[in-house]
Structure 1
Amino acid sequence: MEQTTMAEYRAVYLTAEDLRVAASIIYNAYHDDPFFIEALSTANKASYEQKLRAAIREELTELWQQEQPLIGWFNGERLIGVACVITHQVPLGESRYWHWRLKMVLGTGWSSTQALINKENSILESLPSNQYGILQFIALSPIEQGKGNGAKLIHAVLSWCDDQPELDGIGVFINNPKHSELFIREGFQHLSQLTIGTVDGEVLIYSSK
């Protein structure tokens, strides 16, 4: 996949060599996310950060191994944004593969792994059909925010979605009103309110058919 919107910007699938930088971008974007703060709860900040890095690393590795779309937003040769989608081709929620569960438990603990599974179950139950993918992560480098890159990255995801005949669309859980406004401007629609743990948010969907 390659999509060029301006001379220096392009959306392409990530390679294995990009995963380390992608994990760092996602980590910085989700460091203060209310869901992860609750799901990976610990009294020690360093422990929380270690668990968050482990959760992101294991999920990226799983998505890569299962050949799920990892879309990178590049400025020239520099990776500045990442969007990670998981589709119905991979078991989700309570159906997650045992090796994913084991690695996630080793990295984050049993209760945190269960919280991640419960989040997926809640989102899946909200979607119109099992032919919808889930946007697991979407993130930009901090210095690239406020420049319109978020909208362009979302547009790249939707363009990818439109090209997938087996998908009816894509869903995402949002717990930040500003992020919700951006997604809706770019073509998503509000589906339902959703509380995961004690974190209130909403499920937005983009329907490609």
Structure 2
Amino acid sequence: MTSATSTLASPDVQTVKPVFLAADDLKSAASILYKAYHDDPLFMDIFRADDEGYGSRLRAAIREEISAFWEAKQPMIGLFDEGRLLAVACIIQPDASIGPNRFWHWRLKMLLTAGYIGTRQMVEKEQRVRAHIPYQRYHMLSFIGVHPDHQHHGLGHLLMGAIDSVVEEDQSSEGVAVYVTLPKCLSFFEHDRYQMLTELTVSRIQGHIMFRSRQDSA
């Protein structure tokens, strides 16, 4: 599905549909996630927001992450309205090969574009988060973002419903985890029945690991 992210009238939530992303949606998805995470304190710390080139490093990191998701055939859900991509979520499945170590060429590209420190901290972040999740088989919500022009219209909750459906379809999954670093987002996940597991400081930034058990998706 070809998508665009231009500033247009607010969509009718009743007509917005969740769809798995196609190859030609990835560029628009990366753009939405770049805007969503540009002011995230963890990404600002990892990719050195105070140093010149922060935007380029963050953009490159998100681009490589999305490419890795696509190559590993992991679920990337988009909300579309008349061909426009409005929101994106990227999920790691329980048995995915896209774990903390990623692919060797992902690391190489990240080193060349995002830098050694940023690459190392991205890997360490996921390793530390997973080490604090007391489950064996679960999905991981890695990225979620709504286009800035279409926020506060219920799209985030619609996207969460699509995520729940993906988790519910996997009978072996115990649920879905997420690492939240923006305090204002805690209530958003709590509204969808995510429970607090623990606080965790990564790269000097305090965050919260939250989990929604699969039975809560019923």
Name the TM-score class by shorter chain.
over 0.9
Would the aligned equivalents of 1:124 and 1:130 in 2 still touch at CA under 8 Å?
A: no
Residue type of the alignment partner of 1:14: L
Note the residue ranges of structure 1 that are not aligned, 5 or more in a row: none
Aligned to 2:126: 120
Higher strand share: 1
For the residue of structure 2 that corresponds to 1:32, the secondary structure is coil
How far did 1:166 drift? 3.0
156, 159, 166: which one aligns with 2:162: 156
Residue type of the alignment partner of 1:102: L
Aligned to 1:60: 66
**Higher relative contact order, chain-length normalized (CA < 8 Å, sep 6+):** 2
Question: In the TM superposition, what are the counterparts of 1:93-108 in structure 2 within 5 Å?
Answer: 93=100, 95-108=101-114
Deviations 1:110-136 (A, max 9, x none): 111010001101111111223112111
Note the residue ranges of structure 2 that are not aligned, 5 or more in a row: 1-11
1: distance between equivalents of 2:93 and 2:201? 22
Number of residue equivalences: 203
183, 186, 191: which one aligns with 1:180: 186
Aligned to 2:198: 192
Aligned to 1:166: 172
99, 123, 126: which one aligns with 1:92: 99
Q: For residues 42 and 81 of structure 1, do their structure 2 counterparts lie closer, same or farther at Cα, with a shift above 3 Å needed?
A: closer
Aligned to 1:26: 33
Deviations 1:151-186 (A, max 9, x none): 111111111111112321111111122211011111
Would the aligned equivalents of 2:57 and 2:113 in 1 still touch at CA under 8 Å?
A: yes
Residue type of the alignment partner of 1:125: A
TM-score, normalisation: structure 1 = 0.92
Residue type of the alignment partner of 2:193: G
1: distance between equivalents of 2:205 and 2:121? 12
How far did 1:6 drift? 5.5
Q: Which runs of 4+ in 1 moved over 4 A?
A: none
Would the aligned equivalents of 1:10 and 1:76 in 2 still touch at CA under 8 Å?
A: no
How far did 1:102 drift? 0.9
Question: Is 1:13 aligned with 2:20?
Answer: yes
Report the RMSD for the aligned CA atoms in angstroms: 1.5
Residue type of the alignment partner of 2:19: V
